[in-house]
């Protein structure tokens, strides 16, 4: 039994060793733990949460988080090891002086459970503010419901994403579950910054995939475009929350800050070799055909096709979703904008492909031909 536990620990370390760069980009604490509760890998946010002087490597997670010397029943790690499924708990840790939401997800290799991924959200500030404001209690309750809803959506997205990876080599398949979970952690971390962005990345990914299929693009590139749709706004992790939630028009200086998010996204992902092909799509998804976009004012065919597709998908979702500074203009308005700016802001072929995909879909209760 001891040799089996050691074997699982070695497997987990080997399985996760390529992902240090990725988890270090996340603003939330991420810790990878083996089945004996030993910490195998952690990111900078986790070290900041638990204290820079604490030794994390090979430490017992229940000692770090709960300040005890053995596992406890209400720990999400214990539940995940028992049930082999995602668990989420809100806990208060007196020795840390923090309220935390802890998510755990199982990690398998060759159908064997070899460890878990912890993602930890510090909600201490929200809890403290609850004591003084009934309004903040409602906001907090809403945020918890959103986190639970995103957890459900992430589980559904997992199956779709695994299907998308069917043709990838066998060695890469061994990492696909860990890869997907870390991608979803990043997307969920972004969506958590503002209630207005809930579901935005997944919808843009879906629209972009539909466009690419309608344009008969190579299947591998369709996969890249879909993944780029999930991650296209990841650079907003570095954008101040108040700018994303501001109810009024942004000043020029504020908008200049927001406009940095495509390049910030490219910088976050540039060290991850599995994502290098999609970085140009993310970096240039706000460029316009006439050269009046950002960040580099590219024109026409100099803009990668994947970026032109994301630009249409992103614009459509923005025009059909509420924002803190205005209600959704709606589908009819979005279609009129595409017609008005087709060939200047938007690629005509991409717009036409999107309209065809909408006509084929039963999602929209609208006669597009009459618009």
The residues annotated with a catalytic role in the active site are 236
With contact defined as beta carbons under 8 Å apart, do 278 and 231 qualify?
Answer: yes
Q: Phi/psi class of residue 84: alpha, beta or left (left: φ > 0; alpha: ψ in -120 to 50)?
A: left
Q: How many CB atoms lie within 10 A of CB 132?
A: 9
Measure the CA–CA gap between 316 and 313, rounded to whole angstroms. 5
- Tell me the C-alpha distance between 78 and 82, whole Å: 6
Query: What CA–CA distance (Å, rounded) separates 202 from 184?
Result: 10
Adjacent-strand bridge partners of 88? 103
Helix (H) or strand (E) holding 113: strand 112-122
Question: For the stretch 139-166, what's the b/e string if a residue is b when 16 or more beta carbons lie within 10 angstroms of its beta carbon?
Answer: ebeebeebbeebbebbeebbeebeebbe
Nearest to 103 by CA among 136, 68, 65: 65
- 134-164 vs 219-231: helix crossing angle, rounded to 10: 170
Which of 49, 47, 56, 190 is closest to 124 using CA atoms?
Answer: 49
* Integer Cα distance of 311 and 313 in angstroms: 6
What is the DSSP pairing of strand 112-122 with strand 98-109? antiparallel
d(CA 262, CA 23): 20
CA dihedral of 2, 179, 182, 230, whole degrees rounded to 10: -170
Q: Are 72 and 52 in contact (CB under 8 A)?
A: no
In contact, 39 and 58? CB cutoff 8 Å = yes
Which helix H or strand E contains 87, and what residues bound it? strand 87-93
């Amino acid at each position: 039994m001891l040799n089996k536990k050691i074997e699982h620990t070695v497997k987990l370390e080997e399985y996760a060793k390529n992902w240090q760069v990725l988890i270090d980009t996340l603003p939330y604490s991420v810790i990878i733990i083996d089945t004996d509760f030993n910490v195998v890998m952690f990111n900078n946010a986790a070290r900041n949460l638990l204290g820079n002087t604490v030794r994390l490597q090979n430490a017992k997670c229940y000692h770090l988080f709960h300040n005890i010397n053995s596992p406890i029943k209400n720990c999400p790690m214990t539940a995940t090891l028992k049930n082999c499924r995602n668990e989420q708990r809100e806990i208060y840790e007196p020795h840390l002086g923090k309220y935390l939401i802890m998510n755990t997800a199982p990690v398998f290799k060759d159908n064997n459970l070899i460890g878990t991924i912890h993602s930890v959200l510090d909600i201490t500030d929200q809890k403290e503010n609850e004591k003084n404001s009934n309004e903040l209690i409602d906001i907090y309750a809403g945020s918890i419901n959103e986190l639970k809803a995103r957890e459900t959506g992430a589980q559904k997205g997992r199956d779709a994403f695994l299907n998308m990876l069917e043709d990838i080599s066998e060695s890469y398949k061994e990492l696909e579950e860990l890869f997907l979970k870390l991608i979803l952690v990043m997307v969920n971390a972004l969506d958590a910054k503002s209630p207005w962005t809930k579901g935005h990345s997944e919808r843009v990914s879906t629209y972009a995939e539909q466009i690419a299929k309608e344009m008969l693009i190579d299947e591998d590139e369709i996969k890249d475009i879909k993944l780029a749709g999930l991650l296209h706004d990841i650079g907003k992790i570095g954008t101040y929350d108040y700018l994303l939630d501001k109810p009024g028009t942004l000043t020029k200086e504020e908008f200049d800050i927001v406009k940095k998010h495509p390049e910030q996204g490219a910088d976050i992902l540039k060290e991850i070799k599995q994502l290098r092909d999609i970085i140009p799509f993310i970096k240039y998804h706000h460029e316009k055909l006439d050269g009046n976009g950002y960040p580099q004012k590219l024109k026409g065919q100099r803009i990668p096709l994947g970026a032109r597709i994301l630009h249409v998908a992103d614009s459509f979702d923005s025009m059909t979703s509420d924002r803190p500074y205005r209600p959704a203009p709606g589908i009819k308005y979005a279609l009129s904008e595409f017609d008005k700016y087709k060939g200047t802001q938007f690629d005509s072929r991409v717009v036409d492909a999107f309209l065809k995909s909408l006509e084929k879909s039963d999602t929209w209760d609208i006669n597009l031909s009459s618009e």
